[in-house]
Amino acid sequence: MRFYRSLTIAQKQIVWAWIFLAVPTVFYIWIRFYPTANAFVLSFQHWNLLSDREWAGLDNYVRLWNDPVFWVVFKNTFIYLALGTPISLALSFVVAYHLDKVRFMHGFIRALYFLPFMTSAVAMAWVWRWFYQPVPIGLINNALSSIGIPQIAFLNSTTNALPAVLAPAIWAGLGFQIIIFMAGLRAIPQTYYEAARIDGVSAWTTLTEITLPLLKPTIVFLVVFSSIGFLRIFDQVFNMTTNDPGGPLNSTKPLVLLIYDTAFNGFNMGYAAAQTVVLFVVLLVVSLLQLYIMRDRDRVS
């Protein structure tokens, strides 16, 4: 106690700060940083969970580079990103833009849009899976055949399966993005629009010159957030293609599913860790790139 009393106020504050910080610090080091670091180390090792961990040098990375499945999966992951992020952002902006102007049952409609976001991805994936089944089970094909359009193989086709899996993933995230967009739209002062009305500019000019630029922080957030989501897509794919996860013929398989497969079906922990490191680097590079491209040039230091 004498030691504590002899401290200055600033030093006492530091002591207390560290006492309170200790719990989350220990938690983070133990639960987050240690496994992450361990995964990095593991990516340079061979391990099947039961054996001892053996150093493998760059073996895992070399194997990954030469693995044709990895490149298919790598491409799939970027297709999820390249289609999912722009489509989901465009859709949610259009919905939010118009929903913002709707007064009639506004809260109810907004709740309907938000509902899918609260629903379990597994349940959703299975319902959509049912939609996609061939006649006489599938909802969509039944509807198509009743008006004389030939059936479409959704989940059984190597070309159609990926978009078919992506659709519910986009739909599920829409509610969240709409809410964020609406909050962004609400934050734009009404006088900007009133001034534009007095100046007599067209609705299109108002949208492109006022609304979208002022919405930029919201857009940046959603682009980064949804990109990370699509790069890590897993549950929709896994649940909609359970017979052959990531199939048919790896045409829907994303990186996370490959990692899961390598680790818990192949028990090839070192190899899975190497794939994880690649995913980590991809996420990091894509996010930083987006933040760099969309950085705020207006702000002066």
Partner 1 sequence: MANVILDNLVKHYGKTPVLHGIDLEVSDGEFVVLVGPSGCGKSTTLRMIAGLEDITSGQVSIGDRVVNNLEPKDRNIAMVFQNYAIYPHMTVRKNIGFGLRTSKKSKAEKLQRINEVAAMLDMTELLDRKPGQLSGGQRQRVAIGRAMVRDPDVFLFDEPLSNLDAQLRTQMRLEIKKLHQRVGRTIIFVTHDQVEAMTMADRIVIMKDGHIQQIGSPFEVFHKPANQFVARFIGAPPMNMLEGRYQQGKLHLQDDIVLDLGGRVFSAAAASKLAEHPQVVIGMRPDDLRVTSEPGHFKGEVALIEPLGSETLVYANVGAKELIAKAPGRVPPTAGDQVSLAIESELIHLFDTRDGVLIE
Q: Which residues bind partner 1 (CB under 8 A)?
A: 189, 191-192, 194-202, 205, 209-210, 213-214, 216, 298-300
CB of 299 to partner 1, least distance (A): 7
| Closest to partner 1 by CB, 62 or 195 | 195
Q: Give the span between the Cα atoms of 61 and 56, in whole angstroms.
A: 10
CB of 179 to partner 1, least distance (A): 24
CB of 193 to partner 1, least distance (A): 9
CB of 262 to partner 1, least distance (A): 47
| Closest to partner 1 by CB, 54 or 209 | 209
Which residues, 6 or more positions from 300, have their beta carbon under 8 angstroms from its beta carbon?
none
Q: Give the span between the Cα atoms of 189 and 68, in whole angstroms.
A: 53
| Closest to partner 1 by CB, 201 or 285 | 201
Q: Give the span between the Cα atoms of 15 and 7, in whole angstroms.
A: 10
What are the structure tokens assigned to 194, written together?
């009133």
Closest CA to 282 of 254, 262, 246: 254
For the chain, what is the largest distance between any 2 Cα atoms, rounded to a whole number of angstroms?
89
Q: Give the span between the Cα atoms of 91 and 292, in whole angstroms.
A: 24
Residue 35: other Cβ atoms inside 10 A: 11
| Closest to partner 1 by CB, 54 or 194 | 194
CB of 195 to partner 1, least distance (A): 4
Closest CA to 75 of 132, 155, 158: 158
| Closest to partner 1 by CB, 66 or 301 | 301
